[in-house]
Amino acid sequence: MTATTAPASYGSRAHWDGVHTLLGDRGGARPQAAGALLDHMAAVADRLAGAGGVVMDLGAGQGALARALARPGRLVIASDIAAGPLAVIRTPGVAGLAADAAYPALKPGTLNLVTCLRGLWTLPDPAGVLAVMTGLLAPGGHILVQLWDRPARCRLIGTGAALLGKVLPDLTRPAGEAGPFDIDPDGLAALAAPAGLELIATENGDITADIADAPGYWREFDALAETAAAARLRAPAALQARLDAALPGVLDRVLPRSDGATGWQASIAWHLCTLAPAGSRRQIIPPR
Ligand SMILES: C[S@@+](CC[C@H](N)C(=O)[O-])C[C@H]1O[C@@H](n2cnc3c(N)ncnc32)[C@H](O)[C@@H]1O
């Protein structure tokens, strides 16, 4: 007899530990879209953080952003509810903090910058976490939050999510929980206002990834939609094979063909939103 266990509830430590264990060390080439997003986020964060100071990356996952932000004289705290991925970050100047974002156990007024890349909508109480983070900011500090643009501009993740959602019941989001497209910059400003935060700048970015085949699509998708990726990888091999077989037809219906027509072009677009305590607008450093 085979024992079955219910999947850990979405957002729990067990859920994220399981996702990171499955996806943790997959190696291979850096996906185009996740790489471009990371580079953009790191550039804006680097500018906001200034030369030294303390930066906390909230929901740091495998620590790619935290590592990208490491500089002499700067402390980067990679914080996540899942301890597993933090344990393998071995970069000078980067410290791991395994903690729920709602209870970070840091002294008030210590952070010059908080970053949150692909993380805000995964939190059960994003407004509450923004309030907690505001209390941790040093004078002149900022919070940099990444959000996705609307679904029509994010076909790279929407296409696979729609396909997986039809066959994997685990991917049904509990009622009332935010999804990746449920918070836009106006919504973020509304969530942040009760904490005394203002949205003081938004920078937009986008990329179109060239997809050659089904494995190439999943490589791009998995790096940006980990919960869905983990659900696919947990599915029985026969179902995974059926998904792979169905994917080219789905991509044909939804995505433009690449030049030469051997593959597809999958785009994704994002907003990088800078929040600061109301009244501190003058402290922002203009883009170079
Ligand atoms: C979609 S992943 C993004 C990871 C990383 N920021 C990146 O872009 O690669 C969301 C991350 O948030 C973390 N997370 C989820 N809920 C959390 C919570 N309540 N407190 C802290 N981290 C949390 C997860 O473990 C996961 O690493």
Which residues are paired to 209 by β-bridges? 266
Q: Is 5 helix (H, G, I), strand (E, B) or coil?
A: coil
Q: Which amino acid is at 221?
A: F
Q: Six-digit token pair at 267?
A: 């785009």
User: Ligand 1 centre from 184 Cα, in Å?
Assistant: 18
Q: Which amino acid is at 223?
A: A
166 vs 112: CA distance, rounded Å = 43
- Per-residue pLDDT of 38-86, as tens digits, reads 999 999 999 999 888 999 999 999 999 999 999 999 999 999 999 988 8
User: Ligand 1 centre from 80 Cα, in Å?
Assistant: 6
Backbone angles phi, psi at 185, to 5 degrees: -55, -40
279 vs 189: CA distance, rounded Å = 15
**In terms of Cα–Cα distance, which of 87, 90, 79 is closest to 56?**
79
**In terms of Cα–Cα distance, which of 239, 245, 255 is closest to 171?**
239
Q: Report how far apart the first and last C-alpha atoms of the chain are (Å, whole number).
A: 63
What are the domain boundaries of the chain? Answer: 13-283
**Side-chain-facing half-sphere of 196: CA atoms under 13 Å:** 11
> Cα Rg for the chain, rounded, in angstroms?
19
Encode the chain (288 residues) as per-residue pLDDT tens digits: 333 455 667 778 888 999 999 887 666 678 999 999 999 999 999 999 988 899 999 999 999 999 999 999 999 999 999 998 888 888 999 999 999 999 999 999 999 999 999 999 999 999 999 999 999 999 999 999 999 999 999 999 999 999 998 888 777 777 777 789 999 999 999 999 999 999 999 999 999 999 999 999 999 999 999 999 999 999 999 999 999 999 999 999 999 887 767 899 999 999 999 999 998 765 555 555
Q: Counting every residue, how long is the chain?
A: 288
85 vs 6: CA distance, rounded Å = 23
Atom of ligand 1 nearest to the CA of 16: 25
Q: What residue's CA is closest to ligand 1, atom 14?
A: 59
35 vs 6: CA distance, rounded Å = 33
User: Ligand 1 centre from 259 Cα, in Å?
Assistant: 36
Atom of ligand 1 nearest to the CA of 101: 20
Q: How far is CA 213 from the centre of its chain?
A: 24
Atom of ligand 1 nearest to the CA of 227: 1
Q: Which amino acid is at 211?
A: I
- Residues 11, 177: contact at Cβ < 8 Å? yes
Q: How far is CA 288 from CA 37, 48, 72, 231, in A?
A: 18, 11, 21, 41
Query: What residues does ligand 1 touch, defined as CB less than 6 Å away?
Result: 11, 16, 59-62, 64, 80-82, 100-101, 117-119, 122-123, 226
**Class of the CATH domain delimited by 13-283:** alpha beta
